[in-house]
Amino acid sequence: MTDAIEFLTLRPDVLARRAEIVADLVGLLPPECLIHEPRELMPFETDAFVSYRRMPLAVALPRTTDDVAAVLGYCHRNGIPVVPRGAGTSLSGGAIPQEDAVVIGLSKMNAILDIDFANRTATVQAGVTNLSISERVSGDGFFYAPDPSSQLACTIGGNIAMNSGGAHCLKYGVTTNNLLGVTMVLVDGTVITLGGKALDASGYDLLGLVCGSEGQLGIVTEATVRLIAKPEGARPVLFGFDTSEHAGACVSEVIASGIIPVAMEFMDKQAIEICEAFAHAGYPLDVGALLIVEVEGSEAEMDLMLKSIVEIAGRHQVKTVRECQSATEAALIWKGRKSAFGATGRIADYICMDGTVPLSQLSHVLQKTGEIVARYGLRVANVFHAGDGNMHPLILFNANDPKESADAEAAGMDILRLCIDAGGCLTGEHGVGIEKRDLMRHQYAEVDLAQMMAARSAFDEGWLLNPSKVFPLDGRAAR
Amino acid sequence: MTDAIEFLTLRPDVLARRAEIVADLVGLLPPECLIHEPRELMPFETDAFVSYRRMPLAVALPRTTDDVAAVLGYCHRNGIPVVPRGAGTSLSGGAIPQEDAVVIGLSKMNAILDIDFANRTATVQAGVTNLSISERVSGDGFFYAPDPSSQLACTIGGNIAMNSGGAHCLKYGVTTNNLLGVTMVLVDGTVITLGGKALDASGYDLLGLVCGSEGQLGIVTEATVRLIAKPEGARPVLFGFDTSEHAGACVSEVIASGIIPVAMEFMDKQAIEICEAFAHAGYPLDVGALLIVEVEGSEAEMDLMLKSIVEIAGRHQVKTVRECQSATEAALIWKGRKSAFGATGRIADYICMDGTVPLSQLSHVLQKTGEIVARYGLRVANVFHAGDGNMHPLILFNANDPKESADAEAAGMDILRLCIDAGGCLTGEHGVGIEKRDLMRHQYAEVDLAQMMAARSAFDEGWLLNPSKVFPLDGRAAR
């Protein structure tokens, strides 16, 4: 990856006042809530995108909404850019700072404030990890549905910024479908509340707008999310096919038939081999593509749904159908899938693309993806949420080889253009961030982008919040 | 009802140029697409709120997105307010015009453009009626989920403006959960597209913001919506209770247990009597409150779900449980419920409130609603979507009695304040419109409202689109 990323012009006045700004922040927060020594700032230089690094001016670690308001208000009055940060697991560079920016990290705001089973809601601070909500309510038979692979680390605040999904979102929807309300600090330090515990809110759906806005409209400090009752049972089943095309066509037909499994994950041969070598999940190695289909409900319901899916798979030359025999086996099957990115990282450098396509285009896009990557002389592993058309091609390359690095990046952009041209979009769940901002022009007409930027300006006229992300950096988008 | 409604200051320059504006519009549209004779304008004076009437300047009935763009662009250049209109079924006055406004009615744009079973989507023009989508795909085993009681008449464009719901939204969500993309004309005539057939869109979720924005951010001309596979079977069951409190507590416990029936409708004694007299639906008349609970799926699934619900109802002194024995009986049960508003209109004038409360507050709010209405010496019938806490108290009064009219309106406002104070909100599905704009101040802090208005201004700086609605008419909100 090249480090030659273009950021918005840094503010020389801010850079010149660095010491003064740090001194001011020291006055706003207790010592354990402020980081400003270069060596201690290093963990905040990048996120899970890791292609770019920038040393921020300082990192504030507020404990309360009031702390966030104090820091934001100060930065706003002084024209200092602010980059919000959850756990830094963004795969699109959404949390990468710039040298003139103060990072506001939400890691200390990790309290679960309220569990309300009568209304099936949890209210949490934004720095709470995704998984800890489900862990807290599991004993009472509930869970929080969106389940990114990084759920052990990633925070609800980050999930809201990126509208995160996960393997089980096919049935339960992504973050926006499970978010009921937030407390948010606007760029000038004003605290607003959006939504609440009731089904709907009066007036405009600003909550919907905020979810997925990548930290550019405000900093969410508290969130109320929906809790869902755990199903009576759940059963993952492995379906092996000779080719990716057959597996893709099977997915399309299952969804078109109206059946909604709770998850429908796809792995091609490369991905199967990588994951099996790492997790020993028991995946069949003699197939060209694998679907992990999970159904849930009573035994009778699961039997019924699986019967229909097996019938459809039969029409697409399914080679292997394997129901798992125990909870241990089920956990292993999911461990294999959820560790796909980590396992791939052991054998090669990779970049993970995140395009979404209409289901009818799945086979076509898979085939073309293979052709694109082959044209660059590289390899690809496909492992993704097939049921909702959210593709994750992992392009393998050697980061020490500048040509391979550039080729991998170019292939990735070609694949995303392919997704857009097939009627899909740039991102299913990872966000646009820095990675894909220039492709926004390929997805959107000038007028569409201009309207998004107008919405942003209605919250943050000077683009102080998470600048350099989401929008292409030409004159119109920049301040 | 008083007719003394305050509108935004009418634009004298527009009123003075009436003849000239009509002449210009005549040049933009063929004769059958423009109405400007006072007698012919009368049907457009009001909507289903009917409390207020205003004669618009003219009514344009465009056939295409380009027609809409031409009329909007013209009105924008000339500072003329525009009121979008679907079928005029708004219960909150969302489609009531003002004297200086051009109404853009979407009734001629009623084509179904594309049915795509592979992606489970339908793309339609905005003037298509809600029910006609389901009718079109029914033979193939699909339907469009949101089902307002007015679904025979109301349009998808109106549904999007108000984020409409319906009895079966407990399981399938309201309009925003079933909308994938729109073509929309901005106030200056620019055409933008939001979303599409894929799961998610890159960048900000402007589609989410537009849904429920009551026609103030643009005029939607085409929409792509989700199609859902019809369940194997569906079965409504009647549960009779002695008191509303028992019925309300039963609803709360069913939802808290994690069971999601497809519908869970509530009627109190007054509503049961009114609906039974009209529809002869076979409702029990010896109970104080009735729940219509519908489950769906295979016979085995329905049996299982009903068994759990019956158990819970038993803990709340259920008096009658009656499963329906035939499709005819099921249709009658729903006919009774869906005709509730019409049946009420036969025996008295009424206003229908539309508050939403957290489920844990259902019994409390029902009891207080009764007390409020009794304090004004009026009667109330409660018939509503209990499963998602969306209350519809119908306050009965005599419209020829000015005191009763004023009392009914005051009682309605008291009830909505009660809903807000219980942690709920002003509207579940009917929108804010004219009816509830002043109560927005009770629901929201000044900063919350200001941020909504900033979002509106990002689309329509001069508030030309559907003015006088949604926001309280003080200096800040007005242009």
Which pLDDT tens digit goes with each residue over B201-254? 788 999 999 999 999 999 999 999 999 999 888 999 999 999 998 999 999 899
pLDDT band at B421 (very low <50, low <70, confident <90, very high): very high
Q: Does pLDDT of A4 surpass 80?
A: no
CB contact under 8 A, A120 and B301: no
Q: Does pLDDT of B5 surpass 70?
A: no
A82-85 sheet: strands from edge to edge: A34-35, A58-60, A102-105, A82-85
CB contact under 8 A, A206 and B201: no
pTM reported for the whole predicted model: 0.90
- Global ipTM: 0.86
**With pLDDT > 70 as the criterion, what percentage of chain A qualifies?**
97
pLDDT band at A1 (very low <50, low <70, confident <90, very high): very low
Find, among A234, A103, A101, A87, the residue nearest to A161 by Cα: A87
pLDDT band at B4 (very low <50, low <70, confident <90, very high): low
For residue A360, list chain B residues with Cβ-Cβ distance below 8 A. Answer: 116, 118-119
Q: Does pLDDT of B355 surpass 70?
A: yes
* Residue A19 distance to chain B (closest CA, Å): 33
What secondary structure letter does DSSP report for A155?
B
pLDDT tens for A319-348 read: 999 988 888 999 999 999 988 988 999 999
Higher pLDDT, A53 or A129: A129
Find, among A277, A287, A278, the residue nearest to A322 by Cα: A287
CA B65, CA B157: separation in Å to the nearest integer? 13
Whether residue B181 lies within 8 A of chain A, CB to CB, comes out as no
Whether residue B138 lies within 8 A of chain A, CB to CB, comes out as no
pLDDT of B226:
95
For residue A459, list chain B residues with Cβ-Cβ distance below 8 A. Answer: 451, 454-455
For residue A201, list chain B residues with Cβ-Cβ distance below 8 A. Answer: 425
Q: Does pLDDT of B185 surpass 90?
A: yes
Q: Does pLDDT of B151 surpass 60?
A: yes
pLDDT of B8:
62
**With pLDDT > 90 as the criterion, what percentage of chain B qualifies?**
76
Cα–Cα distances (Å) from A86 to A62, A109, A380, B234, B267, in that order, read 12, 10, 30, 44, 46
Continuous H helices in A320-396: 327-338, 340-347, 362-375
For residue A196, list chain B residues with Cβ-Cβ distance below 8 A. Answer: 423-425
Q: Does pLDDT of A2 surpass 60?
A: no
For residue A198, list chain B residues with Cβ-Cβ distance below 8 A. Answer: 356-358, 389, 423-425
pLDDT of A475:
47
* Residue B23 distance to chain A (closest CA, Å): 30
pLDDT tens for A206-244 read: 999 999 999 999 999 999 999 999 988 899 999 999 999
CB contact under 8 A, A203 and B424: no
Q: Does pLDDT of B63 surpass 90?
A: yes
Backbone dihedral region of A360: left (phi > 0), alpha (psi from -120 to 50 degrees) or beta?
A: alpha
pLDDT tens for A130-146 read: 999 999 999 999 999 99
CA A332, CA A197: separation in Å to the nearest integer? 36
pLDDT band at B169 (very low <50, low <70, confident <90, very high): confident
pLDDT tens for A148-172 read: 988 999 999 999 999 999 888 888 9
Q: Does pLDDT of A479 surpass 50?
A: no
Query: In the predicted model, what is the mean pLDDT of residues B400-413?
Result: 94
Per the structure block, which two tokens stand in for A107? 């890691």
For residue B118, list chain A residues with Cβ-Cβ distance below 8 A. Answer: 252, 256, 358-360
In chain B, which residue's Cα lies nearest the Cα of A471? B203
pLDDT band at A7 (very low <50, low <70, confident <90, very high): low
pLDDT of B49:
82
Mutate to test the interface with A, among B117, B171, B204, B385 (most CBs of A within 10 A): B204
* A209-228 residues touching B, CB cutoff 8 A: 209, 211-213, 228
Query: In the predicted model, what is the mean pLDDT of residues A100-117?
Result: 97
pLDDT of B415:
96
Q: Where are the beta strands (DSSP E) in A210-348?
A: 219-226, 228-229, 233-241, 263-268, 289-297, 318-323
Query: In the predicted model, what is the mean pLDDT of residues A45-58?
Result: 87
Whether residue A428 lies within 8 A of chain B, CB to CB, comes out as yes
CB contact under 8 A, A447 and B300: no
Whether residue B446 lies within 8 A of chain A, CB to CB, comes out as no
Nearest CB to B118: which of A213, A252, A456?
Answer: A252
Whether residue A200 lies within 8 A of chain B, CB to CB, comes out as yes
CB contact under 8 A, A118 and B359: yes
Query: In the predicted model, what is the mean pLDDT of residues A432-447?
Result: 91
CB contact under 8 A, B455 and A458: yes
Strand partners, A142: A229
**With pLDDT > 90 as the criterion, what percentage of chain A qualifies?**
76
For residue A303, list chain B residues with Cβ-Cβ distance below 8 A. Answer: none
pLDDT of B298:
81
In chain A, which residue's Cα lies nearest the Cα of B164? A200
pLDDT band at B51 (very low <50, low <70, confident <90, very high): confident
* Residue A436 distance to chain B (closest CA, Å): 9
SS3 B267: strand
pLDDT tens for B456-466 read: 999 999 999 99
